[in-house]
Structure 1
Amino acid sequence: MKKIRKMAAALWSAVLAVILSLSLALPAFAAFDQSVLDGVVLIYSGAPDSSGAMQYWRGTGFFVGEKGQNPEYIITNCHVVEEYINAGEALGGGQLYVMFDENDQEEAYLVVYDYAKDVAVLKLAKPTDKRVPLLLGEAEEDDLGSEVYAVGYPLAADVTVQSVTSASKGDATVTTGSIGRFLTESGTGRELIQTDAALSGGNSGGPLINGDGAVIGISTAGSKLDQNLFYAVSTSEVRFLLDRNNIPYSLYEGGGLSPALLLGIAAAAAVVIVVLVIVMGKKKKTAPAAAPAPETADSPGVKISSSKKTPQLRSMAPQHGGMIVQLHHQPVQIGRDPATCRLVYQDGTPGVSSKHCQVYFDEQEQLFVVTDLNSTYGTFLASGQRIAPNTPVKLPPNSSIYLGEADNTVYLEMTE
């Protein structure tokens, strides 16, 4: 017994020495890796409105590729280039550029996108030496509470490019916060990271960086209920898209056990020693505790993936040529006013008011909800029944409505 106690005391002293040395070696906070700015870029996209005038939107992106090589692929949010996508499909084409500096820009091309996950991949005509690829990492449950950094060019998403004064690396903004939660979004199955690192419209598509300088998320949105909560799409979502399209990228590889992890191991060893001393010091044997009863219910928290479809509107008006507008958790207004409507009709279109109606998709009921906005000419069901003004009407997928006249039919669809 005395030998065991002497051995435990010696081990205890050694563990205390390790804990002390490691605690002194640990920094209070991880410093932001300034080299990350070398991989971030300002993106702006343009699309013509119903009159043909070009309108511009902005966001942030970051380069990926093989480590040490000049990159050509850029990651951003799908909603950053959404109007450009729609313009290409229905309005005769748009514009898409990345800005390396105030007077240094280059055209980009859309490679692939996923509306449901809100991620898109762009490509330059050739690799550039003006930026470097960032390394992709992945946050795990053990990272809850760890410090993160959101990098981007934060201005409102609808600010036109004429308001941009500079787009250099040094003009990117870095905000600091921590990981508050990991969650899976209902309806889309997106893996999201909740953080309090402040984001705004221009941050969309920018990288969320961990203390190692690796990208763990793509900044995407803020909470409407709490101004201090923000969200980023996990890099696991974009890695799937990159792998599927054979797009090169590099992963962050840790450099072995960190001082923090070693400190945790040493602390655990100390606990084991204390328990050993207590147990061996008892003179009486205690009866073994009964084994806990096995659980009969299914293990909670298991994620079951399912294929989700995306709700969309398809205009059958000749002026739109089958234009598609996808619904992303917000109502879409339809009418002639390009300032508020996403599905815009030309001025003078018979039967269509300035702000005619709006449509959103109820994720829980899996139904489209149509509301006539007190239009002059009325919103009608396919049967010809007029919808009462300002009264929401729920319709199943594959229904249709029309605005004033049957030529202005809009299909309510679900797509993969």
Structure 2
Amino acid sequence: MNNYSYFQKIFYLLTFFISFINLNTLANEKINKDIFLSFDTSDSCENQKFTVEEVNKIMEDKVISIYTKIKNQDYIGSGFVISHHNNETYILTNSHVIETDNNIFIKWLDGNMDKAKVVFDGEGETDINDIALIKIKGISGMPVKIKKNPTIIGKEVVAIGSPFGYEYSISKGIISAIRQQGTMIQTDAAINGGNSGGPLIEKSGCVVGMNTAGIGETNTGLGFAISNKVLNRFVKKFLPDYALRNKGYEMQFQEKRNNLIKKNNKGKIKNLIIQEKNNDFEADLDYFF
């Protein structure tokens, strides 16, 4: 009887430890997945809804200010973390925010600053390719989640950026229109100089666009953002960790990069210009991505 009780206790203890290890493994897998995935792979962007205050908290470690110096002139823009890979942090912003290869610094909400390097610059010749990928050394911040499905007119959104140098400022509005075959979003959320490159976020906490332009010297209720349709295509084609996570895709990724570099005769991807194609924005998107 005593031997039976002894073995029973051993069995219970082993069961407990195995369950604990499995739970810990699942937790670690979830954390790692959250760190690397930068686009929506589930319905979470459809089913969640937060207040503006909650969206602010979600985005605090994801949105950054970008400082550049061109010909002794200081400029400020915005950006957001898109991924971590090989002990580096990748950030999306507008091409027109980083019109220089040097003197690019990002500033976090806590005041810390890092020097950034350009990975990809679309040169901003059209609305669609006014997009750039930069990176910093080390793992900082957390990646945003880009919504998989198109947004819809009337949805409430939040724009975050550094308008006129006022770092990490928030404005809210709605999706006013979807333009250029779904590649551009019009919003009445305030978008001013310095907002460029920052995220446009639904109240699900998911990014649906990259703020890129406002009409007029100050906010007129007419702002524009590159849509999540474009951002998702960009992430899937040019972000290293996405290519490495998908079997059979790494070779395509490397071939595309090498072809672009060879085409431009430079040591990195740059000067990729979208050609005019009779306002066929889908064709432009295919050409770019």
Bucket of the pairwise TM-score, normalised by the shorter protein: 0.5 to 0.7
Corresponding residue of 2:58? 35
Structure-2 separation of matches of 1:135 and 1:248: 15
Q: 1:215 to 1:247 in 2, by over 3 A?
A: farther
1:81 and 2:98 correspond: yes
Q: 1:151 to 1:182 in 2, by over 3 A?
A: same
Structure 2: gaps spanning 5 or more residues: 1-47, 243-269, 279-287
Residue type matched to 1:137 in 2? Answer: K
Q: 1:37 to 1:211 in 2, by over 3 A?
A: same
Corresponding residue of 1:55? 73
1:179 and 2:202 correspond: no
Structure-2 separation of matches of 1:66 and 1:327: 27
Q: 1:138 to 1:232 in 2, by over 3 A?
A: farther
Structure-2 separation of matches of 1:148 and 1:221: 16
Q: 1:71 to 1:151 in 2, by over 3 A?
A: farther
Q: CA deviation at 1:30?
A: 4.6
Corresponding residue of 2:130? 118
Residue type matched to 2:136 in 1? Answer: L
Aligned residue-pair number: 198
Q: CA deviation at 1:239?
A: 2.5
Sequence identity (%): 28
Structure-2 separation of matches of 1:102 and 1:246: 26
Structure with greater Cα Rg:
1
Corresponding residue of 1:218? 210
Corresponding residue of 1:228? 221
CA contact (8 A) 1:64 1:248 kept: no
Structure-2 separation of matches of 1:120 and 1:327: 13
Q: Say which SS state the counterpart of residue 60 (structure 2) adopts.
A: helix
Corresponding residue of 1:207? 199
Structure-2 separation of matches of 1:30 and 1:44: 30
Q: CA deviation at 1:180?
A: 1.2
Corresponding residue of 1:132? 142
Corresponding residue of 1:95? 103
1:153 and 2:162 correspond: yes
Residue type matched to 2:115 in 1? Answer: E
Structure-1 separation of matches of 2:76 and 2:202: 24
CA contact (8 A) 2:65 2:108 kept: yes
Give the structure-1-normalised TM-score: 0.42
Residue-by-residue CA offset, 1:355-389 (whole Å, 9 max, x unaligned): xxxxxxx998xxxxxxxxxxxxxxxxxxxxxxxxx
Q: CA deviation at 1:147?
A: 0.3
CA contact (8 A) 2:200 2:225 kept: yes
CA contact (8 A) 1:58 1:80 kept: yes
Residue type matched to 2:80 in 1? Answer: F
Instruction: Choose between structure 1 and 2 for higher RCO, CA contacts under 8 A separated by at least 6 residues.
Output: 2
CA contact (8 A) 2:62 2:81 kept: yes
Residue-by-residue CA offset, 1:133-168 (whole Å, 9 max, x unaligned): 111114536x2101000011111xxxxxxxx6x8xx
Q: CA deviation at 1:132?
A: 1.2
Structure-2 separation of matches of 1:58 and 1:181: 27
Alignment of 1:338-357 (within 5 A): none
Which of the numbers 178, 194, 217 marks the counterpart of 2:186?
Answer: 194
Corresponding residue of 1:254? none
Structure-1 separation of matches of 2:59 and 2:201: 8
Residue-by-residue CA offset, 1:181-211 (whole Å, 9 max, x unaligned): 11118xxxx8101110011011110000001
Q: CA deviation at 1:102?
A: 7.4
Residue type matched to 2:68 in 1? Answer: S
Q: CA deviation at 1:66?
A: 5.9
CA contact (8 A) 2:116 2:136 kept: yes
Q: 1:110 to 1:212 in 2, by over 3 A?
A: same
Alignment of 1:162-177 (within 5 A): 171-177=167-173
Structure-2 separation of matches of 1:201 and 1:247: 30
Hey, which of these two has a bigger chunk of helix by percent? 2
Structure-1 separation of matches of 2:87 and 2:185: 29
The CA RMSD over aligned residues, in Å, is 3.7
Structure 1: gaps spanning 5 or more residues: 1-26, 49-53, 89-93, 156-163, 250-323, 329-361, 365-415
Q: 1:101 to 1:175 in 2, by over 3 A?
A: closer
